[in-house]
Chains A and B, each alone.
Chain A
Amino acid sequence: MIPPGNMPPHICGEMEIVLSWVRAAKDYLKGFFLYGIIKGVYEEKRSLHNLFMLYLFGKTIGFPHLFNYYHLRLMPLYMRGFDRWKKDVLRERDFFDRIN
């Protein structure tokens, strides 16, 4: 078998084209069959994350769920992402957002 590095250029080029089509077909099948489930998993992850963040920062909006000790230990770890999370939660959503 000829090592890939020693193959004539026109065969390498054709193999690349075939491989790119195979990759495209794999991606298409992933999108058609699996992407819905992947998105569902991400959405579940987001809702759990939202719950956790509300629990963690509940004190700032008048819902002191967490004991002060844990609140102070965990807060520095999540402060960096707080603004972004807040923007995401407070982003205006309407009925048409649910058609997804």
Chain B
Amino acid sequence: MNSLWVLLWWIVIVVLGYWVYARHVAKTVFDVDGGRATPAKMYMDGVDFMPTNKNVLYGFQLNSIAGAAPIIGPIVALQWGWLPALLWLGLGVFFIGWLHDFSSTMISIRNDGETFGAISYKLISPRARKILLTFVYFYLLLIACAFGHVVTKGVSGDAALPLPLLVVIGVAFLVGHLIYKAKTNIIVTTVIAIVLIFFSIWVGTVVKMSFSYNTILVCVLVFGYFSSILPVWRFIQPYNYASVYVVYFGIIAGVIGIIIGHKPMTLPALTSWSIGMGPLWPLLFVTIACGAISGWHSLVCSTATSRQIENELDVRPVSGGAMFAEFTISIIAVIVCATAFSDSAAYIAQVKNPVGIFVGGLGGAITAIGLPISYAKATAGMMIIILALTIVNLVFRFMKVATAELMGDVVSIAKNPHVATVVALIITFVLVKTGTWLYIWILFGGANQLMASFALLLVTLFLVQKAKNYKVAIYPMFFMYATTVCALLYMTFFKLIPGALAGKKVFGNSFAAAVALLLVVLALILAYDGWKAFQKYKSGAAAVPAEAAKAKA
């Protein structure tokens, strides 16, 4: 089948999903009102609460949520065939993904811009906030391991990437200094950064540098340490700014290349229900996370976005629209990879290195615009490494804060940022070295989707409390919850524990199994509390849960 037919699927989903279904739900269920004051207008502190133009906010939202997951997930999921991947991407974003992002923003707006921690405290129970925080800590750990391996494997497996990556890091420090200290014009700074980065990609294809996996892993962790400790303006922010141009160029060049090349999909549409990794349900639905639905977005929407929306009518284009845009990135990833191989054996041989697969696929597509294949491949490699490294940077920073929040009262040294960061780095190192990456990716997907089901639980409780039609949220919530819990249990009892008992990567598999079981236990506790809260609101009891009212008193 020609890959351009996939664009037809994309058009149908986006047009019907965004302009028909999303508009209908926003109007009838959430009753969006352009005249209602939003927290941005009510509080307007000029930093967190700041009414912002919807187009600016859309760009910022897309930059915040789009990472490497919408690319890597579909690459790994093609093991079941491209048809199930496309179906889950399309139907997932249509019924669940956009609704999750949109409703997360809406319930935060309707609760004075409060975060999910505060909303879960109010709507579910006081202990829900603590459970959520514990859950988020281990979720962040899985993210760090999953993406840490992607970066390490990608950079150590391609000799053209280390040099440009070093240059990008150096340019990040330079850009930070030029913008914040030297007060240089932003356009001049941008031009310098772009020229240096793109030139270094070319130099990297000529001057190749090979490093071992362990060396790169240590470098990634050192990089993570500085990302966590240094002020945001010194490194993370200029790094995100300078490197995003590579990503944008890769996406645009890739799309043009796909349209010009319009190659046929050479991988099979459907391989088998059950493959080496496991059965299609529940594993496909957690392997592809971002692109269909991602719990991470609810955290971004409920903290940053909801406080900058100036009009409720902007929520659908900003939150919902950005989710459809991320769906688009996943579609590009599916097309790029499904057209890159002559047969599925070649694909299966590389599936443990998704960077290699993506480099081959997108690199080949980019050559359609006239770039040499070596430069095209290096650009594609840098694109995905940059996306993954951006996430790794942020995750260690959040883990530092989460450690202080969780354990700071009990173990006072946990409040020390250096100690908290080093603890997170050590745990990440151990799990990356001793764990099986494919299993960790699925655990990450499971945790991510479980986070999404928690967000949908909050949305359901909010709608029940307001006597609105909660069915649009509760059915997706049940589906996500059941699928992710089953996926985590399947991985624990059919892959991780048997692997450990058979003597394969004993420590890594055992640790990963323990983390998975902990996440399931936390999910069950939260589900129980959520069920009690649901019963209370359904029967029309007090608007504020009794435990929260008592705790306040």
A residues contacting B by CB (< 8 A) are 23-25, 27-37, 39-46, 84, 88, 92, 94-100
Q: How far is the CA of A99 from the CA of B371 in the complex (A)?
A: 38
A94: chain B residues within 8 A (beta carbon): 115, 117-118, 129, 405
Beta-carbon contact of A37 and B55 below 8 Å? no
Beta-carbon contact of A96 and B45 below 8 Å? no
Interface assignment of B402: CB less than 8 Å from any CB of chain A:
yes
B residues contacting A by CB (< 8 A) are 45-48, 50, 52-53, 55-63, 115-118, 129, 133, 136, 179-180, 186, 232-233, 237-238, 240-241, 244-245, 248, 299-300, 302-304, 398, 401-402, 405
Beta-carbon contact of B46 and A42 below 8 Å? yes
Beta-carbon contact of B56 and A31 below 8 Å? yes
Known: A37-B179, A100-B304. A95 touches B402 (CB 8 A): yes
Q: How far is the CA of A94 from the CA of B62 in the complex (A)?
A: 24
Q: How far is the CA of A51 from the CA of B154 in the complex (A)?
A: 44
Q: How far is the CA of A65 from the CA of B9 in the complex (A)?
A: 66
Beta-carbon contact of A35 and B133 below 8 Å? no
What distance in Å separates the Cβ of A27 from its nearest Cβ neighbour in chain B?
A: 3
Beta-carbon contact of A99 and B60 below 8 Å? no
Nearest-CB residue, chain A, relative to B404: A95
- A sample of 29 cross-chain residue pairs with beta-carbon separation below 8 angstroms, ordered by A number, consists of A24-B55, A27-B53, A27-B59, A28-B55, A28-B56, A28-B59, A31-B61, A32-B60, A33-B59, A33-B241, A33-B245, A34-B241, A36-B63, A36-B237, A37-B238, A40-B232, A42-B50, A43-B232, A44-B233, A45-B47, A46-B45, A46-B46, A94-B118, A95-B133, A95-B405, A96-B299, A96-B302, A97-B48, A99-B398
Beta-carbon contact of A36 and B241 below 8 Å? yes
B45: chain A residues within 8 A (beta carbon): 46, 84, 88
Residue picked from B47, B180, B248, B402, most chain A C-beta under 10 Å: B47
Beta-carbon contact of B63 and A95 below 8 Å? no
The total of Cβ contacts below 8 Å across the A-B interface reads 103
Beta-carbon contact of A35 and B59 below 8 Å? yes
Nearest-CB residue, chain B, relative to A96: B115
Given contacts A32-B60, A32-B244, A94-B129, 9 further A-B contacts (CB under 8 A): A33-B59, A36-B237, A42-B50, A44-B180, A95-B402, A95-B405, A97-B48, A97-B115, A99-B398
Nearest-CB residue, chain B, relative to A95: B405
Partner of B401, one of A35, A37, A98: A98
Beta-carbon contact of A40 and B237 below 8 Å? yes
Nearest-CB residue, chain B, relative to A98: B401
Beta-carbon contact of B57 and A95 below 8 Å? no
Partner of A35, one of B46, B60, B136, B233: B60
A99: chain B residues within 8 A (beta carbon): 299-300, 303-304, 398
A40: chain B residues within 8 A (beta carbon): 232-233, 237
B405: chain A residues within 8 A (beta carbon): 94-95
Beta-carbon contact of A43 and B47 below 8 Å? yes
Residue picked from A46, A84, A97, most chain B C-beta under 10 Å: A97
A97: chain B residues within 8 A (beta carbon): 48, 115, 303
Q: How far is the CA of A41 from the CA of B186 in the complex (A)?
A: 13
What distance in Å separates the Cβ of A39 from its nearest Cβ neighbour in chain B?
A: 8
What distance in Å separates the Cβ of B178 from its nearest Cβ neighbour in chain A?
A: 11
Beta-carbon contact of A37 and B241 below 8 Å? yes
Q: How far is the CA of A10 from the CA of B58 in the complex (A)?
A: 30
What distance in Å separates the Cβ of B245 from its nearest Cβ neighbour in chain A?
A: 8
What distance in Å separates the Cβ of B311 from its nearest Cβ neighbour in chain A?
A: 15
What distance in Å separates the Cβ of A80 from its nearest Cβ neighbour in chain B?
A: 15
A36: chain B residues within 8 A (beta carbon): 60, 63, 237, 240-241
B186: chain A residues within 8 A (beta carbon): 34, 37
Known: A33-B59, A42-B46, A43-B47. A96 touches B117 (CB 8 A): yes
B244: chain A residues within 8 A (beta carbon): 32-33
Partner of B56, one of A35, A37, A95, A96: A35
